[in-house]
Amino acid sequence: MKLELGKIYIRDVQFAEKTYVEDGTLFVCKEEIEKLVLEDERLAGARVELARPGESVRISPVKDVIEPRVKVEGDGAVFPGVIGKVGQVGEGRTHALVGATVITCGKIVGFQEGVIDMSGPTAKYTPFSQTNNVCVVIEPADGLETHDYEAAGRMAGLKTAVYVAEAARELVPDEIVTYETKPLLEQIAQYPDLPKIGYVHMLQSQGLLHDTYYYGVDAKKFIPTIMYPTEIMDGAIVSGNCVAPCDKVTTYHHLNNPVIEDLYKHHGKDLNFVGVILTNENVFLADKERHSDMVAKLAKYLGLDGLLITEEGYGNPDTDLMMNCKKVTQAGVKVVIITDEFPGRDGKSYSLADAVLEADTMVSCGQGNLIVHFPPMDKLIGMMDYVESQIGGYAGCMNEDGSFDAELQIIIASTIANGFNKLAARTY
């Protein structure tokens, strides 16, 4: 598959009577967005607010973050099976409003929802303090069941992102980047002397608001499979979970997966990027065994020399990570795992909930238990009602002036376990 990604760089966002892009500024019509969101009867209210880099703004509780992208050439549409019909994506041309996002927030769905500060000492821990954000604050209908509320919030964000992305359809991109992965035999033959490298992309799928969607299908319902990396860039995977904010893979992070980006940068130079093995994270031990067996089988079947593995979440998913690492290594494929760490507030606990001897090469994305101070902000988008019960917060952490103390893991993407962050750990 060959995908051209046309990047339109956004440096500011403003309200206007219609939605369009001009000279690097995204203008959005809040009335049209609010009307679009409220087509869903599960939502009783919606309002749109803007958050720009450097402003004294706090956004909470954050549910998802999405980069607006629109398919301009090729089959299908971005977010297939979720927005519009099911159709294979990953080929043709897609335009992206780089530097802009849609953020959904509002009353809490589950305790694992996060915070974004647009300025101050904690802004450095999240990439979304550097983006121009269209924030959709939603209000659920009275008595709405939790899973229905999550679904309504997810659709509100995706529908808004698709609406905003239409402003990029006819634009001439500032930059076009081409990504290509050929059918397997052709790909291997193209660079026969380079090591064949793959990527195991683990999706959160442990139920109880821990869901991710692949072409609209809940990831709990599929077995490990192979996919082209470019499919992910076209929205074949969307987030639908409430895992710890620090390592939640938002829809934005699926569209902008740094492991895929970096493998493409090295492709044809010092490695041959063969493709992605997609798998999930399971609740029951039998499922963990079955799916890790399949991951190892696919890695061997593809003839890989090495691969990288990332997970989403921590604790229980660490077992899936270690099973994948162990079995792939035993199949003769070298493995590097990428994950974050949780050693406790005193730093004395084990950083991962599980470990195997085969996990001897790891890239750390930092640790989420560090307590940091969040100073008061001039503006709040959303609400602070739930900070003490959100993951990373604790009873008594809120102050009267709006400031609070919490673990780093309350910040969206602060230690995200695919490397889209600024933290790391080093052995000496």
Token output for 93: 């041309």
Q: Give alpha helix (H) positions in 251-316.
A: 251-255, 258-266, 285-301
CA distance 127 to 420: 8
Token output for 106: 């509002």
CA distance 25 to 185: 44
Token output for 132: 């121009």
Residue 419 — left, alpha, or beta (φ > 0 → left; ψ -120 to 50 → alpha)? left
DSSP state of 135: E
413 and 248 Cβ atoms separated by less than 8 Å? yes
CA distance 136 to 113: 15
Give every CB contact of residue 49 below 8 A, 6+ residues apart in sequence. Answer: 135, 137, 381
Token output for 376: 């008061």
Query: Which of the residues 135, 242, 365, 397 is marked catalytic?
Result: 242
Q: Give alpha helix (H) positions in 166-237.
A: 184-190, 229-233
155 and 84 Cβ atoms separated by less than 8 Å? no
190 and 271 Cβ atoms separated by less than 8 Å? no
242 among known catalytic residues: yes
CA distance 221 to 210: 13
243 and 213 Cβ atoms separated by less than 8 Å? no
Helix (H, G, I), strand (E, B) or coil at 352: coil
DSSP state of 393: B
- Quickly count: other Cβ atoms within 10 Å of residue 300's Cβ: 15
CA distance 56 to 117: 8
Active site residues: 242
